[in-house]
Structure formats: C-alpha cells, structure tokens
Structure 1
Amino acid sequence: MIDAVLERFAKQAPAAVMVRALLANVLSDKELDAIFRESAERQVEGPLLFSQVVGLLHLVVTKAQPSLHAAYQQRRAELGVSIAALYQKLAGIETCVTRELVCRTAARMGAVVAELVPDAPAPLPGYEVRILDGFHLAASEHRLKETRGVRGGPLPGQALVVLDPQKKLIEDVLPWEDAHDQERAVLAELVDVLRPGQVWVCDRNFATRMWLFQTELERAYFVVRQHGQLPIEGAGRLLKQGRCETGEVLQQPATLSDGHGGQMTLRRVVVRLDRSNASGDKEIAILTNLPAEVAAAAVAELYHTRWSIEAAFGEMTLALRGEIDTLAYPKAALLGFALAVVTYNTLGVVRAATAAAYGVEKAEQVSTYYLANEVATVWEGMEIAVEGAAWDRFADLPPPALAVELKRFAQNLHLRRYQKHPRAPKKPRTAPGQTHDPYTA
C-alpha cells in the first residue's frame, strides 16, 4: 500500500519524489552523521544529532517551513531538546563540516549525472573546466547582543564557490566566517583543490600573482580577467584573432613577474565589445596560460561561461532560502547556505533526469523555481503519507541503478508545468510630460 501511495506521488509530483529519493541516497541520516563524525574537529555529537539539525534546516531552505522556529515546533516532541539547544548546536557547526557536506554529496550526485547525461557537451573539449566565484551572505536580523545597537544587520559570512559547468553542479564551497575579508585573502585556502589539466575560469578579483603562479605550478590552467593592479607586461602588438559572440577578439603575448625574479609567459586576450557592458567597459582583457592551440576566440567564449555561476546564485536566491536572515551566527548561516547549494544540486540532477527522458533542449526550458516550488508545497504532505521505510530502497542504490529510477520518475513530468517564462527586455522609461492644469494656471 505504501508503494502505491509513493507511485501516486510520483505521477502527481514527480520532481518532489525525485528530490526525496535522491536525498535518501546521498543525504541519509546515516551519511549525515558520518560526515559530522569524520569531519568535526572540536564539536561533539551530543544528544542532538547533525542529521536532525540538517533535517530542520532543510525544511526552511526549501521553504516548506517559514522559519527554523516553526520547523522546530512541528518536530519538537521527536527532537527532545529545547530551542536554545538547537540554536547552540547550529552556532557551533564547524565550517569544515559544512564544506565536507557539499563536497561529498556533490561527488555522489555527479556520478548520477554522468550516468544520466554521459555525453553532456564540455565547455572546452579535452579540458576539465571549473568556474570560481565568491558569494556574500546578506545582512541578518539583530540577534547578536553585541550588534543590537548597530543600525545595519551583521554580515554572517561569505563563501568561495566552485561550479562544474559540464555537470552543472556546485562541487565545492569554502565557507568563511569573516564577511569583511577580501576574497583574495580567502583564495589561498583553495589552492589545495587545484588539479593538473583543470581550467579555472575566474573574475578579476581572483587575478592575483599567488593564484596564477600556483595554478601554473600545479600544471593547471587559468582564464581570468586582468586586474588593473596586476603587473602584466605586453610583448608586441595586439593582433586580430577573429570574433566571439560579444565582439572582436585580439591577442598579444605577455609576461607576469612573481616579484622575486621569476616570470610566467602567458597570453593576453582582448575583447572589444560590440556594446559596453553593465560597468561601461568597452573592452575586457583576459589572461590565460592555455596552450596556443586553444584559439583566442575560444578563450573569450570560455570566459563568457563564467556567468553560469551568477545564474546559479540567482536561481538559489529566487527558488530557495539560502540566506536565512534570522541566523546571525556565521557558522549557522553558512550551513544554511551550504544546504541551499546541496538542494540546488538535487534540482540539477532532476534537470539531468529530464534531459535523459526528453532531451537536452527540452530540459533547458525547465525552471528551477517551479521545481523548487513543487518540492516546497508537496514535501510535508509526502512525508506524512509515505513512511520513511519506503525511501530506504533508494539508499543503497549505486549511481547506474539510481539513474534508472530517476529517469523513470522524470517520464511523469508534464514539462509545461515547469516551463521557464523569461521576461522580455524592459522598455526604457521616458520622463512624463508636463500637463497644463487650467484650475492652477
């Protein structure tokens, strides 16, 4: 009978069922508690388990519950701890645990995506591309005693985020508690993830000598916009190299000094834009150490894919509640953001299953917002109607078997229910004309 109820949900709300089945596999209570035990450095497990904390916070992130307190009230009896104990536990979750939560789940979901869409197009064929950007959490409500007399809310923290554009999953998040540190200072903590053959696409905030030389040292590659303070010396004239989607492409050899007598030879690719960008720039300069066989136009197009991570941030902000304004303690707020990343990745797997069932072009038209909305509205009812044991059959499925199940559920998707509705370009506003009022003339 339980299986019959599950199948009914699978036909009426397939996206919610796919997310729940996927979480049963990659984010089970057993797996969550294992992540905590293996990653925590100082915090002890205690009577309130990490899996219980994540379960409550997940309800808030997916908008199934309006606040953490509301989620706690609903599950107060089974938790057996006070609300103060919950907030104390949250405030102490170490950032190393938060990062491991994202990395480990992303790796498992990536294996499923590879089964669903094995021939996904690569941004740069023959290379493993990663896009890096920073994310600053919005100011929270005044919850810290020390900040109650301050007009502005405290900033809970920031994170460096790594996106795999081929699988369209966020595979790493480096949480950082000091929201006022420069992203460049945080960047040094990410050096250990560099791997030979990878191509790292970054904005100019990450154009530091440390990062570029370390990337070269690890036999990896970079495609990064030139920062004005970076001591680059051009060698020779800019030569035309054709066009890319946004303008004319030119190139010249260049060198970068490490400040200690060493130098790096690289290419400086300049794009003369057909239209000025939002900052008013008429051209942008991109630095790369990719080999010469990668054309300058391909480098420019690859840098343009950097906006996919901005789109991911926008979708998370719109569809999920990753910035919970009542969580002022950095560790708690960063865990909430990390759970939003994990949830965004589960929706990415749903899109991959849609591509496997209907084709990539139709999957591109599926809206993350409508997928997340179905999860939020159906989740609590589904948890009541379908017992937890019914999801256990997904827990131990290897990626190929889980991919088969997800594709089966995806065939129940009525794509028009989840279709994107992009807004038309805004019309320029004109100043209203002055009218003559005879009564005030």
Structure 2
Amino acid sequence: MAKLALEQAIAPEWVDQVFEEHRQRQYSRELLFSTIVKLMSLVSLGLKPSLHAAARQLEDLPVSLAALYDKISRTEPALLRALVTGSAQRLAPTIKELGCPAMLPGWQVRVVDGSHLASTEKRLGALRQERGAARPGFSVVVYDPDLDQVVDLQPCEDAYASERVCVLPLLADAKANQVWIADRLYCTLPVMEACEQVKTSFVIRQQAKHPRLIQEGEWQAPMPVATGTVREQTIEVKGGHQWRRIELTLHSPNDSGDSSLLFWSNLPQSVSVQQIADLYRRRWSIEGMFLRLEAILESEIETLGSPRAALLGFTTAVLAYNVLALLKRSVEQAHRETQPEGWEASIYHLAIQIRSGYEGMQIALPSEYMPVVPVENLAQHLLELARNILPKQVAKSPRGPKVSKPKTWVQGTAVNAHVSTDRVIKAAKKKRP
C-alpha cells in the first residue's frame, strides 16, 4: 500500500524528468537524481538510521560515498520546489476521489508559514571554529488543509533571510479561487499587494506595525461566534486598496494573553465575517502538520550541515508526509462504515507499520514484480488494501485538555538535585492510610 503510493508520488522516471526540466548547473552522469531522492526517503521515513547507512545497503550505487554527499550538498532549491508541487499534483486526483470535505465551499484554502530547521552538527570545516549554533536554513511552506497536503514550498539557504520576501515567489503562482491564510508576520503591504496582483484572496492577522491606514470606516454591530464576538469595518491603505478588517473578541484570553485578534482580508462580502474568523482558527492546522513532520518523520537531519543537503532532507520528509496523509485518508474511508463517527487513523501508527513491514516486503516482492496500477484505479486499489488493516492498530488516541499547573519558584540547588525513584515510591506507600 505504501509502495503503491510512493510510486505514484515520486516515481523514479518522473523524478529524473523533473530534474532535467528544472536543473540549472547540475547534471547527471552515473548518479541519477531519483537515486538520491530514494535514499533520502528511506532516511526520512525512518527505514534507515542515516544517509550513510542507506547508501551502504544499496547494491548498485554507481559512485563513491564522497561523490554522493557532494551531489546532495549541491541540490538546487528550484528542484526541491518542483518536486513538492509536482508530487502534490500527482496525488491530488486520488485524494479527491477518496473524498475530502471543503473548509470553505467554492474556495481552495492555502495556509502559509515558515519552518526553520534545527541546528546541525558542525562537521563542515568552516563551522568548526564557530561557537554559535549552525542554522542550515528554512522553508516557507504552503499547506492545503482540505487535502492534508503540502502543495508548495520555497526553500531558503540563508537562515537569516526574511520570510516575507521568500513568500513572494509562492504568491506569484496563486490562483483567483484561492484564499491564503497567514500569521501577522506576513501583514505587510508587499505581501497583500502580491495577492491583489494575481486576484487571490487573503486572511492575515494584523501586527502592531501594520501598514498605515489612510481611512477607516465605521465598525458594524458585533455578531456572536463560538469563541466570542466578531465585528468588521472597511479600511483603505496606500495604493487605493480597500479591504476588510475583522476584530474577534474572545471570551477568554488565548495562550499568548490576547483577548482580541484583528484580521485583514480582501474576501468578498459573500463570505461572512463569522466564516473569516473561523477560517483563521484553522490556521493552526499547519502547526499540527509541522509537529507531525518533526515527531514522526526525520525532517531535520543533524548530520547534514550543508544548507542544500539539509533542505533536501526536509523536502523528502514533506514528500513522505504527503504519502502518509494519503494512506491515512484511505484507511479512514475504508473503515468509515464500521467505525464510529469521528474515528481517525493515526499517521504515527501508520508509519510504525510501514517501518516494521517494509524490509520484508522488499524481499518478498521486489520492485520489478510490483503490479502496475493505473492512476485512475489507484484510489480503489488503496481502499481494497486498506480494508486489510485492523482499525484498532492504527486508531488515533486523542488526548484530553491540558491541566494547567502553577509555576512556583525554587532554589537552583533543588532544581539540579536528584532522588532515588525506588526510595520515593516506598516512602509514598508508607504514608498511605
């Protein structure tokens, strides 16, 4: 099941074709780009502990390990973006056939945010004398919450570059029937004007240093929503742009202590103010995706210090996540009639099943004997295979709300002290009545 989805998402022939169409200075001789993506995918899925281990296990690696690392460290960012967008387009028809509810009917929702990679080990010669942490870069990610897919990505090698600038190439490819949701970091005039130029809509939270307002309209009467009340007004900024400003007043402050939130939007009046407020609440779906990407997959490989190599590792983890999201939807649809309403499959447990059975399947069913499934039949074939999975083995375990604990001040000596767990447990038993 996982292998069928991987073959559709990142088929070797298609990966090599993408390389030829989008390469700039790179070229292929003995080592194909599809081989690199295959090795990195094994690491991202957790099937191999490192790139070195994956390469050592590959029987027909045509180059040395040094040449492999050199090739990876020169991977061009344009190739990474082409891989993500092309793979998402290849999976989209199958996901739509499986069924996906629309968050805002008639609109394609896009949530954009940046993901900064964790610090890497200082294996490069230029980093060995540096005391500070080595940051390999970041990516601005475009996420479709309806499909649960990363549909676009802009890699950036400079960890100190501005996300507001890196998002502009992504907005250049936006469509008229899309609505882009972003945090207050992107509340700048160039970002919102870029949306206007391509006739796409946006919902962006207002920041403290927002673009200067030329004119403000009267606030309309507040309306109740699930989390508080909302009201809106018309605003005008430089360039003659007239947009909507929405204020959401919360019943109780959020985790940051904010009791009211302000959003800017150019959505038409046919989309109500309540819908806009609810849309921004869904922005947190991308934060959950980032959490799953980091916790379940190897998206941040500490041993890859080169920025381009680290970004390649993150991109292959994104490709693996898209495949796991497709498998999750297949399992949920296959068991929808037999499970209670609201039942969800867990990407974490699906990944565990793949890791435990992938090596054995590779031995029992090599790639040359895999059945060729046409794209139009892939959804039905995945459903047939998903029915063989026991729901209880992959069921999601939702946790309850967090219990707030009071933070108390203690001496530093108490924080750094240690105790014997066995003695503490025995002492607690003696105190019981």
Shorter-chain TM-score above 0.5: yes
In structure 1, what residue type is equivalent to 2:295?
L
Residue 322 of structure 1 pairs with residue 299 of structure 2 = yes
2:426 maps to: none
In structure 2, which of residues 258, 262, 273 is the aligned counterpart of residue 281 of structure 1? 258
Query: What is the rounded CA distance, in whole Å, between the counterparts of 1:43 and 1:85 in structure 2?
Result: 13
Query: What is the rounded CA distance, in whole Å, between the counterparts of 1:211 and 1:426 in structure 2?
Result: 36
Q: Cα RMSD (Å) of the superposition?
A: 1.9
In structure 1, what residue type is equivalent to 2:23?
A
Contact 1:234 1:252 in 2 (8 A): no
Query: What is the rounded CA distance, in whole Å, between the counterparts of 2:410 and 2:171 in structure 1?
Result: 58
Tell me the alpha carbon deviations over residues 224-252 of structure 1, each in whole angstroms, 9 at most, x when there is no partner: 10122222356244333422232211111
Query: What is the rounded CA distance, in whole Å, between the counterparts of 2:350 and 2:214 in structure 1?
Result: 49
- Count of residues in Structure 1 that have an aligned counterpart in Structure 2: 407
2:73 maps to: 91
Query: What is the rounded CA distance, in whole Å, between the counterparts of 2:377 and 2:25 in structure 1?
Result: 38
Query: What is the rounded CA distance, in whole Å, between the counterparts of 1:267 and 1:146 in structure 2?
Result: 49
1:240 maps to: 221
2:244 maps to: 267
2:112 maps to: 132
Aligned with 2:370: secondary structure?
helix
Query: What is the rounded CA distance, in whole Å, between the counterparts of 2:396 and 2:187 in structure 1?
Result: 35
Query: What is the rounded CA distance, in whole Å, between the counterparts of 2:404 and 2:105 in structure 1?
Result: 40
Tell me the alpha carbon deviations over residues 337-366 of structure 1, each in whole angstroms, 9 at most, x when there is no partner: 111111111111112212332239767521
Residue 53 of structure 1 pairs with residue 36 of structure 2 = yes
1:224 maps to: 204
1:155 maps to: 135
TM-score (norm 2): 0.90
Query: Structure 1 residues 432 and 324 mapped into 2: Cα distance closer, same or farther (>3 Å)?
Result: closer
1:87 CA displacement: 0.5
In structure 2, what residue type is equivalent to 1:356?
Q
Query: What is the rounded CA distance, in whole Å, between the counterparts of 2:139 and 2:26 in structure 1?
Result: 21
Greater relative contact order structure (CA < 8 Å, 6+ sep) = 1
Runs (5+) with no aligned partner, structure 1? 1-17, 435-441
In structure 1, which of residues 89, 93, 111 is the aligned counterpart of residue 93 of structure 2? 111
Aligned with 1:306: secondary structure?
helix
Contact 2:253 2:259 in 1 (8 A): yes
Runs (5+) with no aligned partner, structure 2? 412-433
TM-score (norm 1): 0.88
1:221 CA displacement: 0.8
Aligned with 1:305: secondary structure?
helix
1:391 CA displacement: 2.0
Query: Structure 1 residues 41 and 392 mapped into 2: Cα distance closer, same or farther (>3 Å)?
Result: farther
Query: Structure 1 residues 146 and 251 mapped into 2: Cα distance closer, same or farther (>3 Å)?
Result: same
Aligned with 1:239: secondary structure?
coil
Contact 2:153 2:170 in 1 (8 A): no
1:69 CA displacement: 1.1
Query: Structure 1 residues 141 and 432 mapped into 2: Cα distance closer, same or farther (>3 Å)?
Result: closer
Matches within 5 A, 1:332-343: 332-343=309-320
Tell me the alpha carbon deviations over residues 301-321 of structure 1, each in whole angstroms, 9 at most, x when there is no partner: 011111111111111111100
Query: What is the rounded CA distance, in whole Å, between the counterparts of 1:433 and 1:315 in structure 2?
Result: 34
Query: What is the rounded CA distance, in whole Å, between the counterparts of 1:62 and 1:363 in structure 2?
Result: 27
Contact 1:351 1:363 in 2 (8 A): no
2:417 maps to: none
Aligned identity (percent) is 36
Aligned with 2:332: secondary structure?
helix
